[in-house]
Structures are given as structure tokens and as C-alpha cells.
């Protein structure tokens, strides 16, 4: 068979280093999917385009590599937007590739094409890092290599490439593709690093706030070395889980919605913020008001000083840490006592709220999860608990905050090698039920814990607190156990008493499994400085 534009796409992806792609076929993209069947790439076919986008996100997070997402024109393309928004908010390198109407119809020049949008690309410009429309097969290798480089250059993020139907079906016109991407780490300016080191060296109470940029830069070892040298306590953001050892004597953990932690950060005479934009969640809903100097290290130039005045250091967190370590003195002062006092104050506040069930459920989930197993969390009460209390790496949709992320993303992660855990409420679970078929078809080792409280639990709490009653939060839902089994996926109806054993058994099963926990969980009451 004569090679066509679709072959050029899959050859380019394989040459760039892709091994797995996610997506949903469509009429305009048939040339691409036909070529995929002749390629060495593994195709994981999802059931919805937003599920495919979340799956590509999950795969990219656990592998640390660009992951392709293949969809069709119009409705198929547009349904990826929620997933790409999450990837953009969380700096995840997803390469979206969509078909387009034939070249003669681009921009509405003719009209009347199925799936046609006058300017499909415009829908993605404000969501992803980069967009491009390819107009010939010869442009495909360079366009995809360019997109790959942009996606994997700090700050990581999703990119979008569109290829018309007739280009995908037309002759390749180029020899078999051999292309590579050139990705350079984002080096900081030496004089700014030196100034940051001077501030830290002169500090009496330095504190570090470690965000997701530390994890993405694989800078955990460097952070530990700097914190130990400075004797600086480390607070991790919700997106920075795994940046610092949870039980280390200098670990102030992640209780960012607690006024004690907010005050702890505010009282530092120098606060080193690594890989965080100091947004709404990390600032305890804008109640954080630093009284000392702030040094902000951030790969995303637009986030430097976007929320607080700071010495802005534009660069990769690992390279900045490597530059700081030799420039600061080793301290003899001890900061561990201040960390113990902070965590004791947090514990005492929680102890007074009657939250034994919630704390036990989260502890049982953690105990059931083998070391190194990835977990993905939806916007649900147990997920909100995990933001603050989960002791290790985790993935959630707290970047953009959309429902339905956890299970499709866990499916994508499981395609890179399981087992994987997903955690949803019953409301969020309804978004991703179709992906049970994906997990079953591909035999993916993903366990899905669904906490069934009969509605949108966190919204129920928010509305009741604000208005005295909740509207639109109560939901009819299926028998999740029977529904999972109708997909051919084993399911277990659990209880708080059996949850640990039920999850451990499911995670060891080697395939997909659903565990349903009927439970009405409550959120801990966050506090702000004015509440103390």
C-alpha cells in the first residue's frame, strides 16, 4: 500500500519516542487511524474524547514523557477541551492531534462539511501552549517535532496540531521519517540565583514552599539537600506531593487550608517558593500575607510575581537548586521544634472536629496501596482530604478543578504499567463510567474506589454552609457494583471496616476492579488567619 499522510504522522510520533497513544476515531481521522494499525505504536481506544484527554494526561504524568492524543474534527476535538485545560493547569505534556475538514474548506471557505467549525483552532489557542494547522504531508514531521519540543520544554504543557482529512489520506510525498526533538532545560540567570542565595543566607527563619515544579523537574534530592543545609522547614503544595519526604523532621507537610500553616509561611523572614504560582489554594484562598521576603522560582514566566511581590527566578527548579546549594552556608540552628509545634496545632484542630471516620478511611486507603503505586483523585471529599493529608505522591484535577478526571487518568497511567488506584465520589464517577469498557478491553490493572454518598458531597457542604440548604446536589445513581459487573469488571461492595482488605485484594487482582464504599464523609473545616 502507498504510504499516506497518516503514515507520516505515526512514523513521526514513533521517531520522537512515543510508544502509546490514546484517542477516539472519527470520519475525518480515518486515514490517521488506519495508519496507526500499521505502526508499532500501542493504541488505547477510549470511549469519549474527554476520557482520552484525561487518559493521555495520566499517562504523561506517570511516564514524564509527551503522550499523544488522537481525535477527529469538530465535536470530537471540542470534547477534549476540559482534559486539555487540566493538562495546561497542571503542566502536563499532552500532544493533541486532530483531523480537520479538507483544505479547501478551512476557515469556512466552502461550508457544509460534516463536523465543520469556521475556526476550530481558535477554540484551543487560550487553553494550550501552542497550536498549528498542517497543510501538507511534508510539514507533518517538523510540525510534530516542534509541538513535541514545546510540550516538553519547561513549563510543560499541552499542544495542539490539526491536519486536514485530505492530507491524512493523500500521498506521503516524503521518505520514512527520522526526526528528533531538542529539549533544553530552562537555565536561570546566575546573578538572580546569587541574589536568592544572599537572601537565604541572611535569613533567620527561612521556610520553603515546594510545588509541582519540583516534582516535574525531578529535583527532590536537591530540595532535600538545600533544606537540610539551611535547616529550613518545607511545606508542600497540593500539586507538589512527593517533593519532600513526608515524615522528615523538617517536613511541615501540606495543611495549606489551615491558618496555622498560613501563619507559619507568612512569618518566614525569607520564603523560598519552588515551582508554584502561589495561587488560590496555595495561598489559603488569598489569606496568605507574607511579612518577609519572597523568592519565587518558577519555569512559567507568566506566573512570576503574578500573585505576590518576590525576587523572581525564572528557571527549572532543579537547576536553580543546584545553583543555590553551593552558595549558602550550612547552619547549625535547629528548626525541627517549630515544625513539631505546627503539626501538633493542626492535629489538635482536627481532633476537635469529630472526623474519626474520614481520617480512618484515608488511612485505610493509604495502608492498602503498595509502595510506588500511583493514585488519581477526583474532586471529591476524600480527594480534598488527600490534598492535605496524603503522605506521598498523588495526582488530582486540582489544576483546573473539573469533575470526572480520576478514573480516565488512572486508565492512562495503567497503560504505562499497573496497578493504579482511582478515587471518585458517585457524582464524579458518573462522568467516567464508559471508560470501564476501555479498562476491560485492554486488561488494565486499575482499581476504582467509588465513595457513594448519594450526590455531589462537597457542593452539598458548600451550599449548606453558605445558604443553610443545598440545591441540585442530590443524585439518582446506578448500582455501581452491578453496573461494573455488566462491563465484565469485578466489583466489591465494601464497608469502612473491610475497606483496607477489599482495596488490597482489588489492587492485587491484576486487572480492573471496582470497590464501592457507601459512606457519608465530611470535609474538615478550613481556617483562615481571621478565624483564629
Do residues 163 and 100 lie in contact, with contact meaning Cβ atoms separated by under 8 Å? Answer: yes
The domain that contains 422 carries what CATH number? Answer: 3.40.50.970
Q: What is the pLDDT of residue 344?
A: 96
Distance CA 55, CA 215 (A): 20
Indicate whether 342 and 357 sit together in one domain: no
3-state percent helix, strand, coil for the chain, nearest multiple of 5: 45, 15, 40
Q: 389: helix, coil or strand?
A: helix
Q: Do residue 297 and residue 431 come from a single domain?
A: no
Q: Are residues 260 and 333 in the same domain?
A: yes
Q: Reply yes or no: is the peptide bond before residue 419 cis, omega within 30 of 0.
A: yes
Residues 378 and 495 both lie in one domain: yes
Average pLDDT over residues 436-456: 96
Give the sheet arrangement for strand 94-100, strand by strand.
42-45, 20-23, 67-71, 94-100, 159-164, 130-133
Poorest-confidence range of 47-56, 179-188, 213-222, 226-235? Answer: 179-188
CATH number of the domain to which 213 belongs: 3.40.50.1220
Domain count, the chain: 3
Are 80 and 160 contained in the same domain?
yes
The whole-number average pLDDT for the span 417-435 is: 95
Report pTM: 0.95
* Range 99-127 average pLDDT: 85
pLDDT at res. 529: 46
pLDDT value of residue 532? 47
How many percent of the chain have pLDDT more than 70? 98
- Is position 525 within any domain? no
Same domain, 152 and 242: no
Structural domain includes residue 183: no
Query: Does a structural domain hold residue 333?
Result: yes
Question: Where in 278-394 does DSSP place strands (E)?
Answer: 293-298, 311-314, 374-377
Q: Is the distance from CB of 73 to CB of 119 less than 8 angstroms? A: no
Looking at 317, 346, 375, the residue that finishes a domain is 346
Please indicate, yes or no, whether residues 80 and 222 belong to a single structural domain of this protein. Answer: no
The mean of the pLDDT values for the chain is 94
Q: Output the pLDDT for position 107.
A: 79
Q: What is the pLDDT of residues 496-521, one digit of tens each?
A: 999 999 999 999 999 999 999 999 99
User: Residue length, the chain?
Assistant: 532
**Range 44-60 average pLDDT:** 98
Q: What is the pLDDT of residue 531?
A: 52
pLDDT band at 114 (very low <50, low <70, confident <90, very high): confident
Residue 105 has pLDDT above 80, yes or no: no
Residue 410 has pLDDT above 60, yes or no: yes
The three cell numbers locating residue 428: 464524579
Looking at the fold, whether 327 and 359 belong to one and the same domain comes out as: no
pLDDT at residue number 117: 83
pLDDT digits (tens, 9 = 90+) for 314-330: 999 999 999 999 999 99
Does residue 149 surpass a pLDDT of 90?
A: yes
Q: What is the domain extent for residue 85?
A: 5-169
b (16+ CB within 10 A) / e for 381-400? bbbbbbbbbbbebbbbbbbb
Decide if 174 is inside a domain.
no
Q: Which stretch of 95-109, 203-217, 270-284, 389-403 has the lowest confidence by average pLDDT?
A: 95-109
**Same-domain pairing of 140 and 274:** no
Judgement on whether residues 335 and 369 belong to the same structural domain of the protein: no
Last residue of a domain, one of 321, 346, 371: 346
Q: Of 123, 139, 169, which marks where a domain is finished? A: 169
pLDDT grade for 3, boundaries at 50, 70 and 90: very high
User: Rounded CA gap, 134 and 146, in Å?
Assistant: 12
Mark whether 25 and 162 lie in a shared domain.
Answer: yes
Does any domain span residue 425? yes
pLDDT greater at residue 422 or residue 185: 422
- Return the number of other C-beta atoms located less than 10 Å from residue 351's C-beta: 11
Domain assignment present for 179: no
- 530 falls within a domain: no
> Predicted confidence band at 2 (pLDDT cuts at 50, 70, 90)?
confident
Q: What pLDDT score does 526 carry?
A: 67
Cell of 161: 496540531
Q: Is residue 320 part of a domain?
A: yes
Pair 194, 77 in one domain: no
Amino acid at each position: 500500500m502507498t504510504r499516506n499522510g497518516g503514515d507520516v504522522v505515526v512514523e513521526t510520533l514513533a521517531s520522537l519516542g512515543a510508544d502509546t497513544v490514546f484517542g477516539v476515531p472519527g470520519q475525518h481521522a480515518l486515514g490517521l487511524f488506519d495508519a496507526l494499525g500499521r505502526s508499532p505504536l500501542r493504541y488505547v481506544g477510549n470511549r469519549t474524547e474527554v476520557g482520552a484527554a484525561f487518559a493521555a494526561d495520566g499517562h504523561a504524568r506517570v511516564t514524564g514523557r509527551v503522550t499523544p492524543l488522537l481525535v477527529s474534527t469538530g465535536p470530537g476535538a471540542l470534547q477534549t477541551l476540559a482534559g486539555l485545560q487540566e493538562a495546561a493547569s497542571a503542566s502536563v505534556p499532552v500532544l493533541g492531534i486532530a483531523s480537520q475538514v479538507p483544505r479547501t474548506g478551512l476557515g469556512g471557505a466552502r461550508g457544509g462539511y460534516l463536523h465543520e467549525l469556521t475556526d476550530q483552532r481558535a477554540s484551543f489557542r487560550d487553553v494550550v501552549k501552542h497550536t498549528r494547522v498542517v497543510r501538507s504531508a511534508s510539514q507533518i514531521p517538523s510540525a510534530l517535532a516542534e509541538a513535541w519540543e514545546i510540550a516538553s520544554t519547561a513549563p510543560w504543557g499541552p499542544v495542539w496540531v490539526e491536519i486536514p482529512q485530505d492530507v491524512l489520506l493523500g500521498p506521503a510525498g516524503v521518505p520514512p521519517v527520522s526526526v528528533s526533538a531538542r529539549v533544553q532545560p530552562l537555565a536561570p540567570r546566575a546573578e538572580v540565583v546569587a541574589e536568592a542565595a544572599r537572601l537565604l543566607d541572611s535569613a533567620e527563619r527561612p521556610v520553603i514552599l515546594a510545588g509541582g515544579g519540583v516534582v516535574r523537574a525531578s529535583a527532590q534530592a536537591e530540595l532535600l539537600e538545600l533544606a537540610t543545609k539551611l535547616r529550613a522547614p518545607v511545606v508542600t503544595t497540593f500539586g507538589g506531593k512527593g517533593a519532600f519526604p513526608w515524615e522528615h523532621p523538617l517536613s511541615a507537610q501540606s495543611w495549606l487550608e489551615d491558618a496555622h500553616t498560613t501563619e507559619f509561611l507568612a512569618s518566614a523572614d525569607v520564603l523560598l517558593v519552588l515551582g508554584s504560582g502561589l495561587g488560590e489554594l496555595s495561598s489559603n484562598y488569598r489569606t496568605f500575607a507574607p511579612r518577609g521576603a519572597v523568592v519565587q522560582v518558577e519555569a512559567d514566566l507568566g506566573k512570576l510575581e503574578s500573585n505576590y511581590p518576590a525576587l523572581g527566578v525564572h528557571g527549572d527548579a532543579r537547576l536553580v537548586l543546584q545553583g543555590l546549594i553551593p552558595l549558602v552556608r550550612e547552619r547549625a540552628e535547629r528548626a525541627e521544634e517549630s515544625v513539631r509545634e505546627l503539626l501538633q496545632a493542626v492535629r489538635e484542630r482536627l481532633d476537635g472536629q469529630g472526623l474519626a471516620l474520614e481520617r480512618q478511611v484515608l488511612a485505610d486507603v493509604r495502608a492498602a496501596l503498595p509502595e510506588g503505586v500511583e493514585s488519581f483523585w477526583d474532586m471529591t471529599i476524600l480527594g480534598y482530604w488527600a490534598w492535605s493529608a496524603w503522605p506521598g505522591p498523588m495526582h488530582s484535577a486540582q489544576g483546573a478543578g473539573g469533575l470526572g478526571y480520576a478514573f480516565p487518568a488512572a486508565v492512562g497511567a495503567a497503560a504505562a504499567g499497573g496497578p493504579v488506584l482511582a478515587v471518585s465520589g458517585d457524582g464524579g464517577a458518573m462522568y467516567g463510567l464508559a471508560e470501564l469498557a476501555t479498562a476491560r478491553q485492554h486488561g488494565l490493572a486499575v482499581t476504582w474506589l467509588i465513595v457513594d454518598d448519594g450526590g455531589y458531597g462537597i457542593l452539598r457542604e458548600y451550599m449548606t454552609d453558605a445558604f443553610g440548604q443545598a440545591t441540585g446536589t442530590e443524585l439518582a445513581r446506578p448500582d455501581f457494583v452491578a453496573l461494573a459487573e455488566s462491563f465484565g469488571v469485578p466489583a466489591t461492595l465494601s464497608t469502612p471496616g473491610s475497606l483496607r482488605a477489599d482495596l488490597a485484594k482489588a489492587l492485587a487482582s491484576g486487572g480492573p476492579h471496582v470497590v464501592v464504599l457507601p459512606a457519608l464523609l465530611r470535609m474538615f473545616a478550613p481556617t483562615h488567619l481571621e478565624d483564629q
